[in-house]
Amino acid sequence: MSESIETRLNFIEQIVEHDLSEGKNGGRVATRFPPEPNGYLHIGHAKSICLNYGLAKKYGGQFVMRFDDTNPSKEETEYVESIIEDVKWLTGDNLTGRIRYASDYFEQMYTWAEELIKKGKAYICNQSLDEMRDNRGTPTVPMKPSEGREFSPEKNLDLFRRMRNGEFNEGELTLRAKIDLASPNFNLRDPVMYRIIKADHHRTGNKWCIYPMYDWAHGLEDSIEQITHSICTLEFEHHRPLYDWFLDNLDGIWRPRQYEFARLNLTYTVMSKRKLLELVKGGLVSGWSDPRMPTICGFRRRGYTPEAIRAFCREIGVAKMNSTIDVVKLENAIRDDLNKRALRRMGVLRPVKLLIENYPDGQTEQIEAINNPENDADGTRLIPFSRTLYVERDDFMEDPPKKYFRLSVGREVRLRYAYYVTCTGFDKDANGNITQIRCTYDPATRGGTSADGRKVQGTIHWVDRNCAVNAEIRLYDRLFTKENPDDPQDPTDYKAYINQNGLEIIQNAKLEPSLADATPDQRFQFERIGYFCLDATDTKPKQPVFNRTASLRDTWAKIEKKG
C-alpha cells in the first residue's frame, strides 16, 4: 500500500481533526457501532466497524458497541452473541465495559417523548400505517392532517400514557412528531415516533408494548452515550434533518452530529441481512457461517484473518460516493496477509501413486523443508520420504505438449525439497485409469539440487504414501455467478444466480503427516494449491476437514522458473 493512502485523511478524519482543532466537544471523540441484532454481521458492517473503531483509536477517543434493539419482532439473542464475537474478533478488543443496549434507554426515551408532547410537538394519531401512506401527499401536495394534531397536550399525554399501559391494540394508535406536513422531505411529514408492538423483547421482556422508531431513537441513543460523531451510511442523509429536529427540540441534552459515508458493496455477493437470512432459511447455504457467505463469521471460518479484513477496509477508504468494490481486492488482501504468515505444507488433492523403482524397499528418510520463506523464524521441518509417494494426477500426462514440464515418460522433474526423478512408465487398470506412475530417482540430487548443475524445469509436490494424512478438502468459489446478483434493474430473483459450483468437496486428499496436528488458528499454504485452514466446525478426531481460504496467485510460476 502506498504511503499516500496511509497518510491521506478521509473526509471524516478531516471533520474530526477540524473539530478537535476548534476545541469542539471538549476535545473529545466518541463513536459507536450500532447494529440492529436482526442478523449476523457482514463485510459491509466490517467497514463501519473499522471506521468507527479506528477513529476512536486514532484520536484517543471512546468507542461503544451499541445494540440498536428497538424492534422486538425481528431480534434475537443469537444475533447479539454473534455480533459481539465478530466485533471482538475484528477489532482484537474485548470490549470490556463498552457494550450498550438501546433498550436500556427506553425509560429515558419515553420521558423525552412526554417532553415533546407537553411542548405541543408530538401527538397521538389514530391512522393506520397504510392510511398514513395513502395520505402522505406528493412533493407539491401536503400530507392530510390527522385529528390528533389538534388535540391538547393534556389529551395527547393521557392517550400516550394509556398506550404505554397497554390499553390499545397494535396498529390502533401511534405517537407522531408535529413537524411539517408540507415538507419536501417526506421524513419530516410528521413521522411516527412510537408504535404499539405486543411482542416479548429479548431484554425487556413484556415490560413495554410501545417501541420507538429508528429515527426517533437513534439520535437519543447517541446523545445518551455522548457520541460526538455519529457515522452512518448515505441512505440516512435525508433523515439527518429529522435527527437534528428531535435533538434540537429537547432541552439540556448532549448534541451529537450525524455524518454519512458510502456503504460497501462487493461484486459477486449480496449484502442485505434480509437476503442473507433468506439464503440461510432456504438452506441455500449451510448457515450464517458458510464460508461462501459475506458474513464476518463466514470469512473467519474460511480462514480470513482480522488483519486482512482491516487492511482491505483501509485500502478501499471512506468516501461519499456509492460504488461497488471488486471482490478481487478482498481476495488479494487475504493473499497478501497469508503469504506472510502461512506455514508451507505439502498436500495432494487428487492423488496418484508414484513408485520410485530404484529406491530401497522398506527405507524411509527425513527430508528437510522450509516452513515459511517469508519468515525465517518459522524454521524448518522434516518430512518422510520413501519408495512410494502420492503426487497430483494432474502432474502427469501420457501425451504431453512440448511446454509441459511435469511428469511424463522420459522427463526429469524435481520432487520439492527431495530429489530429481525421471519418469519411466505408468500402469493402467482395466478401465484405462492410471493406477501408478513409475520413476527412478538420482541419489546425487538430495535436497532438490544436482551437483553437476543439471537443471530441471518442473517442480512438483508429493506426500509419502505410508504416512499420509487423509483429509476432506473444501474448495470454495464465489457465491453468485453474476457480478451484481441483486441489480434492481434485473427482474430475475438474485437466488437464481447462486453458483452451483460454489463448493467442491474432495474426499481422501493426502496431506503430509505434520498436518495431523493442525489447529484451527493456524494458516497453511498447501504448496502450488492455495491457502487453507482447518474447519473448526466439521473437523472430527482423525478426520480433518480443510477449507480453502484463497487460491494462490501465480507464485508457483516463480518456483518453476528458479529451477
Catalytically active residues, by annotation: 36, 263, 273
Tell me how crowded residue 515 is: count the other CB atoms within 10 A of its CB: 22
Residue 108 CB contacts under 8 Å (≥ 6 apart), including other chains: 220, 224
Footprint of ligand ATP on 230-249 (CB under 6 A): 232-233
Beta bridge partners of 123: 176
- Residue by residue, DSSP assigns 123-182 as EEE---HHHHHHHS--SSSPPPPPGGGGS-HHHHHHHHHHHHTT-S-TTT-EEEE-S-TT
- The helix or strand, by DSSP H or E, that contains position 242, with its residue range, turns out to be helix 240-248
Binding mask 302-341 toward ligand ATP (x if CB under 6 A, else -) reads ----------------------------------------
Q: Provide the minimum distance between the beta carbon of 296 and ligand ATP in the complex, in angstroms, as a whole number.
A: 12
Q: Provide the minimum distance between the beta carbon of 60 and ligand ATP in the complex, in angstroms, as a whole number.
A: 22
Q: Provide the minimum distance between the beta carbon of 274 and ligand ATP in the complex, in angstroms, as a whole number.
A: 6
C-alpha cell of residue 78: 443469537
Question: How far apart are the two ends of the chain, measured CA to CA in Å?
Answer: 31
CA distances from 301 to 273, 288, 291, 308, 375 (A): 19, 10, 6, 14, 25
Footprint of ligand ATP on 12-51 (CB under 6 A): 34-36, 44-45, 47-48
C-alpha cell of residue 434: 492410471
Compare residues 51 and 383 and give the one whose CB is closer to ligand ATP. 51
C-alpha dihedral, 192 to 198 to 203 to 205, nearest 10°: 150
Compare residues 233 and 484 and give the one whose CB is closer to ligand ATP. 233
Q: Provide the minimum distance between the beta carbon of 217 and ligand ATP in the complex, in angstroms, as a whole number.
A: 12
Compare residues 34 and 148 and give the one whose CB is closer to ligand ATP. 34
Compare residues 54 and 544 and give the one whose CB is closer to ligand ATP. 54
* 171 neighbors 135 (Cβ within 8 angstroms): no
Q: Provide the minimum distance between the beta carbon of 33 and ligand ATP in the complex, in angstroms, as a whole number.
A: 6
Closest residue by Cα to residue 77 from 205, 222, 224: 205
Closest residue by Cα to residue 369 from 206, 525, 224: 525
State which residue has the least CB distance to ligand ATP: 44
Compare residues 229 and 273 and give the one whose CB is closer to ligand ATP. 273
Compare residues 36 and 336 and give the one whose CB is closer to ligand ATP. 36
When binding is defined by CB under 6 A, the residue of 77, 128, 169, 272 that contacts ligand ATP is 272
> What gap in Å lies between CA 532 and CA 206, rounded to an integer?
47
Q: Provide the minimum distance between the beta carbon of 264 and ligand ATP in the complex, in angstroms, as a whole number.
A: 4
Identity of residue 387: R
Q: Provide the minimum distance between the beta carbon of 259 and ligand ATP in the complex, in angstroms, as a whole number.
A: 11
Q: Provide the minimum distance between the beta carbon of 302 and ligand ATP in the complex, in angstroms, as a whole number.
A: 19
Compare residues 273 and 344 and give the one whose CB is closer to ligand ATP. 273
> What gap in Å lies between CA 562 and CA 458, rounded to an integer?
10
When binding is defined by CB under 6 A, the residue of 264, 355, 475, 533 that contacts ligand ATP is 264
CA distances from 319 to 262, 313, 444, 450 (A): 6, 12, 60, 56
Q: Provide the minimum distance between the beta carbon of 269 and ligand ATP in the complex, in angstroms, as a whole number.
A: 11
- Write phi, then psi, for 524 (nearest 5 degrees): -125, 150
| Strand pairing report for 420-428 and 412-415 | antiparallel
- Write phi, then psi, for 293 (nearest 5 degrees): -75, 150
- Residue 212 in the binding site for ligand ATP (CB under 6 A): no
When binding is defined by CB under 6 A, the residue of 66, 189, 273, 465 that contacts ligand ATP is 273
| Three-class DSSP labels, 463-505 | EECCCCEEEEEEEECCCECCCCCCCCCCCCCHHHHECCCCEEE
CA triplet 225, 226, 231: central angle to 5 degrees? Answer: 90
Compare residues 271 and 327 and give the one whose CB is closer to ligand ATP. 271
Footprint of ligand ATP on 111-170 (CB under 6 A): none
Kindly list the residues in this chain that would bind ligand ATP in the complex (CB under 6 A): 34-36, 44-45, 47-48, 232-233, 263-264, 271-273
